[in-house]
Copies of this chain bind each other. A is one copy, B any other.
Amino acid sequence: MLIEDDILKPVKVGLCGLGTVGSGTVNVLTRNAAEIAARTGCEVVVEHIGARRDNPHCDTSNMQVSRDIFAVAEDPNVDIVVELIGGCDIAKELVLKAIANGKHVVTANKALIALHGNEIFAAAKEQGVSVCYEAAVAGGIPIIKALREGLAGNKVEWLAGIINGTGNFILTEMRDKGRAFEDVLKEAQELGYAEADPTFDVEGIDAAHKLVILASIAFGIPLQFDKTYTEGITKIAKADVEYAEQLGYRIKHLGIARRQQNGVELRVHPTLIPEKSLIANVHGVMNAVMVEADAVGPTLYYGAGAGAEPTASAVVADIIDLARGIESDADHRVAALGFHADKMMDTAVVSAEQFESAYYLRMSVDDKPGVLSSVAQVISEEGISIEALIQQQPVDGEETVPMIILTNKTIEKNMDAALQKLAQLSSIQGEVVRIRVDSLDA
C-alpha cells in the first residue's frame, strides 16, 4: 500500500448533497484514494455525508450518513465541508454555519458564489478559513486556479468563455445540422443537458454567474452580478448561423469580461467569432475559456463544463489544495478572489451603452434601388463603418431580400442610435437582428 504510518493525520471531509456531483465526488475520492494520499501527503477521508436520500450511483455503506445536512457542519471531526446541495438559501446558511464552526468549505455552487460570495468570503476571512469554488466555473477545467495562481503575474486584458454547455450544444447542433433553436432545445431536454425550465441556461444567467466570478479574479474587483449584461440565445435563427458561416464566423454564447478605458465590461451574449479561432472549434457540451493577459498573451483552457466526475475532479482538487495546506495560517493561503480583500480594485463596471464591439446586422429590405444607400447612410451618420455586406438576390414572389452587414468596432450607444434610425426606414420590414462580433484579438 502507498499509505505509510509516518504521514500527516488524515483530513476529514463532510459532504452535503448526494446528487450527481455529490456521488461523483464520493466515487472519485474512493477510487483514487491512493493517488490522492500520495499527492496530499495524508489520507483524505469522507467522514460524514449529509443527504436527504441515498444515491444508487455511489456506495456509502461504510460511511456515516445524516439526513440533516447541518449535522455535517456541526460535526467536530469534520475539517472540510463540501457543499453540493445547490440553490442559494439553504446552501448559504450551511456554508456560513460551517465557516462559523471553523471549517474550510468547498462548493460547486456558482449562483451562491456569484450572488453571496462577497459576504461568504468576508465571513471566512474573519474565521481564518478558506472557501474554494473551482467547480463553480467550467466544471473540471482548472480555470479558477489558472487565473488566481497560474497567471498571477499578469494584468488580464480580457477573457471570453464558453461557460454554459447546454447553450454550446444547442448552437453546435444548429450549425452542424442546420436545425432550429426550439428543435435542439427539446432534444437537449430529453438528453438531460437542459432543465425542464431552461431559462438559466439559454438566457445566459448561468453563464453570467460564472462570468462574474472569473471577472472578479481576473481584475481584482468585487463580485457584481447585478451589473452584468445578459442576453440569451433564444432569438438566434438558423439564418444567422448560416450567414455567420458565409462571413467566416461562428456564433457562440460567450461570457466576456474586458478591461477598457472606462472600466470593465461584463457581458454575456451570442457573439460572432472568427471560425479559425481555437475557441470557435469548441463543440457540443464542452467549455473553454480564453484569457488575454499582458505578459503571457493569449491562453486557452478547455474541458468538460459539467457532469458528475468532471465537476468532482474540481471539487477534489480543492479538497487536496486544502489538505496540502490545511495547517498553514490564513495569511499564507491564496486569497479567495486572488487579490487580498483590502487590496481589491474599485474599477467601474461600464454600462451596456459604453460597450465597444463590432456588429452583425440582418434585416429584410424592400427589393428596390436606393435601399442600400439609405441603410449605409444611417449607419455612417453614427460614425460606424461597414466592413462587409451580403445582399441576397430576391427569390421569385418575395418582395423583400435579406441584407446582412458587418460593422467595424463602435460604442454600443452609437449602434443603438443607428438601430433606432433604421427602425424608421420604410424600406426595412420587421426588426433588425443585431449580434455582437468579436475578433478575439489582443
Q: Which residues of A does B touch, CB under 8 Å?
A: 2, 4, 7-8, 24, 28-29, 31-32, 35-41, 134, 139-142, 145-146, 148-155, 220, 276, 278, 281-282, 288, 293-304, 307, 309-310, 312-317, 319-321, 324-329, 331-335, 338-340, 342-345
Cβ of A160 to closest chain B Cβ, rounded Å: 14
Q: Across the interface, do A142 and B146 meet the contact criterion of CB distance under 8 Å?
A: yes
What CA separation (Å) do A150 and B140 show in the bound complex? Answer: 8
Q: Across the interface, do B295 and A32 meet the contact criterion of CB distance under 8 Å?
A: yes
What CA separation (Å) do A296 and B316 show in the bound complex? Answer: 11
Q: Across the interface, do A317 and B152 meet the contact criterion of CB distance under 8 Å?
A: yes
Q: Across the interface, do B153 and A316 meet the contact criterion of CB distance under 8 Å?
A: yes
What CA separation (Å) do A307 and B295 show in the bound complex? Answer: 10
What CA separation (Å) do A161 and B294 show in the bound complex? Answer: 24
Cross-chain contact of A302 among B7, B151, B155, B278 (Cβ < 8 A): B278
Contacts of A309 in B (CB 8 A): 294-297
26 examples of A-B residue contacts, CB within 8 angstroms = A2-B343, A8-B331, A32-B294, A32-B295, A35-B220, A36-B153, A38-B343, A39-B340, A40-B152, A41-B335, A140-B296, A142-B299, A145-B145, A145-B149, A149-B320, A153-B316, A153-B317, A154-B313, A278-B278, A278-B282, A295-B309, A297-B304, A297-B307, A298-B304, A325-B332, A328-B329
Contacts of A35 in B (CB 8 A): 154-155, 220, 339
What CA separation (Å) do A331 and B320 show in the bound complex? Answer: 14
Cross-chain contact of A32 among B8, B155, B338 (Cβ < 8 A): B155
Which of chain B's residues has its CB closest to A308's CB? B295
Q: Across the interface, do B304 and A302 meet the contact criterion of CB distance under 8 Å?
A: no
Extra inter-chain contacts (15) besides given A295-B309, A300-B302, CB under 8 Å: A24-B295, A32-B295, A39-B339, A39-B340, A141-B299, A142-B145, A142-B299, A145-B146, A149-B321, A293-B313, A295-B313, A300-B300, A301-B302, A325-B325, A325-B328
Pick the 7 closest A-B CB pairs, nearest first: A142-B150, A153-B316, A299-B303, A38-B343, A140-B296, A328-B328, A296-B313
Q: Is the interface of A mostly helix, strand, loop or mixed?
A: mixed
What CA separation (Å) do A315 and B153 show in the bound complex? Answer: 8
Cβ of A388 to closest chain B Cβ, rounded Å: 24
Known contacts A324-B334, A343-B2: does B293 contact A298 (CB below 8 Å)? no
Q: Across the interface, do B312 and A153 meet the contact criterion of CB distance under 8 Å?
A: yes
Q: Across the interface, do B303 and A302 meet the contact criterion of CB distance under 8 Å?
A: no
Contacts of A324 in B (CB 8 A): 332-334
Contacts of A24 in B (CB 8 A): 295
Contacts of A149 in B (CB 8 A): 142, 145, 317, 320-321
Q: Across the interface, do A299 and B140 meet the contact criterion of CB distance under 8 Å?
A: yes
Which of chain B's residues has its CB closest to A25's CB? B153
Contacts of A328 in B (CB 8 A): 325, 328-329, 332
What CA separation (Å) do A152 and B323 show in the bound complex? Answer: 12
Cβ of A306 to closest chain B Cβ, rounded Å: 11
Contacts of A325 in B (CB 8 A): 325, 328, 332-333
Contacts of A319 in B (CB 8 A): 153
Cβ of A396 to closest chain B Cβ, rounded Å: 39
What CA separation (Å) do A141 and B141 show in the bound complex? Answer: 14
Cβ of A123 to closest chain B Cβ, rounded Å: 19
Which of chain B's residues has its CB closest to A144's CB? B150
Cβ of A397 to closest chain B Cβ, rounded Å: 40
Contacts of A304 in B (CB 8 A): 296-299
Q: Across the interface, do A303 and B297 meet the contact criterion of CB distance under 8 Å?
A: yes
Cβ of A304 to closest chain B Cβ, rounded Å: 5
Cβ of A299 to closest chain B Cβ, rounded Å: 4
Most chain B CB within a 10 A radius of its CB, from A28, A29, A282, A317: A317
Known contacts A38-B220, A153-B32: does B296 contact A4 (CB below 8 Å)? no
Cβ of A102 to closest chain B Cβ, rounded Å: 18
What CA separation (Å) do A297 and B165 show in the bound complex? Answer: 15
